[in-house]
Structure 1
Amino acid sequence: MRQPPSIDAWGGGGFRVAGVWRPGSLLVIDDQPQDWAATSLADLTPDAFAQVFAAGGSVEFVLLGTGLVNALPPRPVRDAIKAAGLGLEFMSTEAATRTYNVLASEGRRLAAAMIAV
């Protein structure tokens, strides 16, 4: 079993993932960090989660980092994630990075979608 990458730090417009600085928002699916085009919660659309939906059964739920503060994702996003049969947990990006590290270390099958701040 592959070791999931840790999110070591966040802020300054990006994330340090497994010791490597990644500018911009972050998407982690199947333990693979990648750039994510999302820039704000208000502008988030279901299309931003296309890669998550394509991952199929390798993902149980989406952990969404909403930015500086916890806020409700737009209804179309919530509806699309539910229609895909996935759970959704959302919280500030700071809390989501900590939660991701715990859940990933437990082997949970999640997609982490983190909006950079």
Structure 2
Amino acid sequence: MRLNEVEYNHAQPVEGYGPGFFRIGGQVIEGPVITGAEGPQRWGGFEDTAPLLALAGEIDVLFVGTGTEIAHLPDDLDRQLQEAGIAAEPMSSPAACRTYNVLLSEGRRIALAMIPV
């Protein structure tokens, strides 16, 4: 078996999460978070569309953790992301964290926006 060292650059895997927080790159962030190539940053939730739309052309897919349970994205957010050419995949936040970490380790152009559990 051959092992390859993964270089995340500024992107860091999600190391953990709990009620109201995420741990990314050793940093605990409370509340909603966006993370990707530029590293983690606080996010204002589904109404805060600007940082998500700024990802247009930079990523191939945006995973959206909707909290404890999977939920549809708000129609306005979904429409804006589609118009910007951003493929969004809503899923529960735990599933989004796992999927993000796997694809990040493969060097994919991805980002993650998530609501805490």
Determine if the TM-score, normalized by the shorter chain, exceeds 0.5.
Answer: yes
State the alpha-carbon separation in 1 of the partners of residues 53 and 103 from structure 2: 20
Structure 1 partner of 2:3: none
Following TM superposition, by how much is the alpha carbon of 1:31 offset from its aligned partner in structure 2, in angstroms?
4.0
State the alpha-carbon separation in 2 of the partners of residues 31 and 91 from structure 1: 22
Structure 2 partner of 1:14: 21
Aligned amino acid, residue 4 of structure 1: A
Structure 2 partner of 1:116: 116
* Larger fraction in strand: 1
1:1-117 aligned at under 5 Å gives the runs 2=9, 4-38=11-45, 44-45=46-47, 48-117=48-117
Q: Secondary structure at the match of 2:40?
A: strand
State the alpha-carbon separation in 2 of the partners of residues 86 and 3 from structure 1: 21
State the alpha-carbon separation in 1 of the partners of residues 39 and 77 from structure 2: 22
Following TM superposition, by how much is the alpha carbon of 1:64 offset from its aligned partner in structure 2, in angstroms?
0.1
- Structure number, greater radius of gyration: 2
TM-score normalized with structure 2 length: 0.85
* Pairwise CA RMSD: 1.5
TM-score normalized with structure 1 length: 0.85
Structure 1: 4+ residue segments shifted above 3 A: none
Instruction: List gaps (5 residues or longer) in structure 1.
Output: 39-43
Shift in alpha-carbon separation, 1:77–1:30, aligned structure 2, 3 A: same
Q: Secondary structure at the match of 1:5?
A: coil
Following TM superposition, by how much is the alpha carbon of 1:4 offset from its aligned partner in structure 2, in angstroms?
2.7
Cα deviation, 1:26-54, whole Å, max 9, x if unaligned, reads 1013241001111xxxxx23xx2312222
Instruction: List gaps (5 residues or longer) in structure 2.
Output: 1-6
State the alpha-carbon separation in 1 of the partners of residues 12 and 37 from structure 2: 10
Contact 2:61–2:88, Cα closer than 8 Å, also in 1: yes
Higher mean alpha-carbon deviation, 72-81 vs 55-64, is at 55-64
Q: Percent of pairs identical after alignment?
A: 36
